[in-house]
Amino acid sequence: MSIKVIHGKKEHTVDDDSTTVEGVLDRIGVNPETVIVEMEDEIVSLGKAVVDGDKLNLINVVSGG
């Protein structure tokens, strides 16, 4: 199982048994409080199931100035 994650300029590939968006964020060490997650241009909740080949786009929401 392989999930691709785009987070700003960073790109991660998660190869393991994560079954939800929240699980994927945990694997790459991103606090769910700090991002909104999109899959195929739709915003999804942390509980959304992920399957092999899914691509997540993370949008930072914490302010910096």
Partner 1 sequence: MRDKDNITERQGNKCWKCGDPAVIHRKYEGKSWCSEHFTEQFESLVKGTIRENDLFESDDKVCVALSGGMDSSALLFFLSDLFKDWRNADLFALAIDEGIEDYRDESIEIAEELCRDLGVDLHIASFKEAFGKTLDEIMEDKEYGCTYCGVLRRWLLNRKSRELGATKLATGHNMDDELQSIFMNYLRGNMNRMVRLGAKPAVLDNEKFIPRVKPFRDTPEREIALYGRLRGIDLHQTECPYVDNSLRFDVRDFLNDMEAKRPSTKYTSLRAFDKLLPALQNMFSGDDSSVKECDFCGEITSGDICKTCQLREKI
From residue 7 to residue 46, what is the string marking binding to partner 1 with x (rule CB under 8 A)? -x--------xxxx-xx-xx----xxxxxx-----xxxxx
Q: Percent helix, strand and coil across the chain, each rounded to 5?
A: 15, 40, 45
Q: Count of CB atoms within 10 A of residue 21's CB?
A: 24
C-beta of 31: minimal distance to partner 1 in Å? Answer: 5
User: HSE on the CB side for 11, CA within 13 Å?
Assistant: 3
Which residue's CB is nearer to partner 1, number 12 or number 22? 22
Task: Name the residues that contact partner 1, by CB under 8 A.
Answer: 8, 17-20, 22-23, 25-26, 31-36, 42-49, 59-65
